[in-house]
Amino acid sequence: MTAPFTHDFTDKVVVLTGAGGVLVSKFAKEYARAGAKVALLDLNEEAAKQFATEINEAGGIARAYKCNVLEKESIQAARDAVAKDLGTADILVNGAGGNNPRATTDNEFHEAEGLEDMKTFFDLDQDGISFVFNLNFLGTLLPTQVFAKDMIGKEGTSILNISSMNGFTPLTKIPAYSGAKAAISNFTEWLAVHFSHVGIRVNAIAPGFLVSNQNRGLLFNEDGTPTARANKILSNTPMGRFGDAEELIGGLLFLTDEKAASFVNGVVLPIDGGFNAYSGV
């Protein structure tokens, strides 16, 4: 990655939830590369430890912590451990989130006939819906309640949330995830106002469509050709391609860098190849 100036996070403590995943662990590596001490929080402690080890072996400073973002006691325990090991948080990246098949329909449109073998809107599992919404929304709100307390009175503190294209326009099939990401965008703006008098900036990035291990099977057929859903995405992305995780890093570092974005507050930044700007015609 190149930038007009160097992002310097030396001595900053950056806490990242969902850091046992490929994407947020990449965020952690970039913060460490920029000098930060990074705390990788995840329910999957072993995955977080693996990425922390990679960061430390590359010369960075990282520690991994088991954390359930839906249990406040678990978050508080992680906070106490981070404070003891690295210091109190300067930056919080709320990276935990995701979707679940139990909250996903098989059909894009409800039709009068031909839905006998499909999971429709009426078949969605209530527990699955609750899980998806809570993971994304409460999984952002609760860590913010715990870690933001330590940010009050410190200079250069900020929170970064992860929204989505769903936060602007809901995608078909995934109503719980779409609703949760819309809530994240709204919550980001709410927090930005709420904390504005105590110096905590709050922003979000809204990634467009990236290819990951989790969604590769949905986007590509076995022969490597795009699926019908992938073709819809590509035809509605003016740049005509999927994004790469590396292309999120510039927005991530910019929004949390006090030198670069000291007057940027309450922004939800699309990083989407123009998807959100395109009407389809």
| Per-residue b or e along 66-102, where b marks 16 or more CB atoms closer than 10 Å to that residue's CB | bbbbbeeebbebbbebbeeebeebbbbbbbbbebbeb
Q: CA 68, CA 274: separation in Å to the nearest integer?
A: 34
DSSP per position, 100-121: -GGG--S-SS--SSS-TTS--G
SS3 43: coil
Given the residues 31, 65, 177, 278, the one annotated as active site: 177
- Burial level of 164, CB count in 10 A (0-12/13-18/19+)? buried
Q: CA 97, CA 162: separation in Å to the nearest integer?
A: 8
Q: CA distances (Å), 105 to each of 55, 97, 132, 215, 264, in order?
A: 39, 19, 14, 16, 37
Please, are residues 208 and 166 in contact by the beta-carbon 8 Å criterion? no
* Residue 177 annotated to the active site: yes
The three-point CA angle 41-43-138 to 5° equals 80
SS3 204: strand
Comparing CA positions, the residue from 128, 109, 97 lying closest to residue 171 is 109
Question: Which residues are the active-site residues?
Answer: 177
